[in-house]
Amino acid sequence: MFWIGTFSQGFYLYNEQTRIFSQPTIQGFPKQPILALEENSDHTLLAGIDGQGIWELDRKNQTVLNIYKEDINNSFSLRGDGVYDIFNNENNRVWVATYTGGLSFFEQDTPLVDHITHEINNPNSLGNYDYPHDVR
């Protein structure tokens, strides 16, 4: 079964054996651009949604297990809800790139999110190149 994220219609599932597309009904799932999909385990999927953070889904039951969003009162929450990329490494650390919050990561067994930010006067730190690029 392939999960396909859309710009405004949620998900579609494609069954390779039957060659049929179907659209699951996931209660409360936003109809906003799904910009990133990452398998989280044998039965879960992380969906990065523009403006809605990360939604952890149970693929078998097609239900929401968890939602990671920015909480301005919690410094260990996701920084920025415009999720553009997700990567789950071999140690089950989830790396998240957001439009306004830069790069963050969290371990699978804890909800605490760490952030990687620019360090002033450190040329090896993460930069924020928020300026127009000349691509001639």
Largest CA distance in the chain: 57
Give the pLDDT confidence of 14-73 residue by residue, as tens digits: 999 999 999 988 989 998 999 999 988 778 999 999 999 999 999 989 999 999 999 999
- Residue range 107-121: mean pLDDT, rounded: 81
Pair 93, 119: CB distance under 8 Å: no
Q: Which residue has the tokens 């659209």?
A: 23
Tell me, what's the pLDDT at 135?
46
| pTM as predicted | 0.82
Please list the residues that pair with 58 across neighbouring strands.
44, 63
pLDDT by residue (tens digit) across 100-109? Answer: 888 899 987 8
Residue 33, SS3 per DSSP: coil
111 has a pLDDT exceeding 80: no
CA atoms within 13 Å, Cβ hemisphere of 106: 19
Q: Residue length, the chain?
A: 136
- Model pLDDT, residue 129: 56
Other C-beta atoms closer than 10 Å to the C-beta of 83 total 28
